[in-house]
Amino acid sequence: MMTDVPSAMPPKAAAPRRLRRRKEFLRAAASGLSRQAGPFNLQMAIRDDDPAGAPRFGVTVTKKVAGAVGRNRIRRRLKEALRASGALAACPGRDYVIVARKPALTAPFAELTTQLAEGLARLSRASVAPRPKNPRNRPLAP
């Protein structure tokens, strides 16, 4: 006999869409929109083919960061942090790449989630209002 008892675990949120091809990662890197967010860097590219589609994410960890076990652990931690909170600050029609650095392996998980959310919010604001070419707002010399 089954009873309707609420489970102790909250339901898992759906995993965000992800980048799959190398050219998608390279396009995000070449776009020039990037921000440093603690133990990782965030890169973003605006998609022309689907401007209203759900944001897509990719995680990359180079061999300089750690061995195979460490790289996989970093990748799993960043994907879970993204699933837990980071995708909320992402804008539709954008591709995001998370480039992990060595501190991502030992950083507390709560710190990863907050820095990911803050980094995505900063990067989204930067894409809406790009920085001026002349930061001091002075006329350029002739």
Query: Which comes out higher in pLDDT, residue 84 or 60?
Result: 60
Domain 34-126, CATH? 3.30.230.10
pLDDT of 132 above 80: no
pLDDT tens digits, residue range 15-27?
788 889 999 899 8
What amino acid occupies position 30?
A: A
pLDDT tens digits, residue range 91-125?
888 889 999 999 999 999 999 998 988 888 888 77
Q: Are 123 and 28 in contact (CB under 8 A)?
A: no
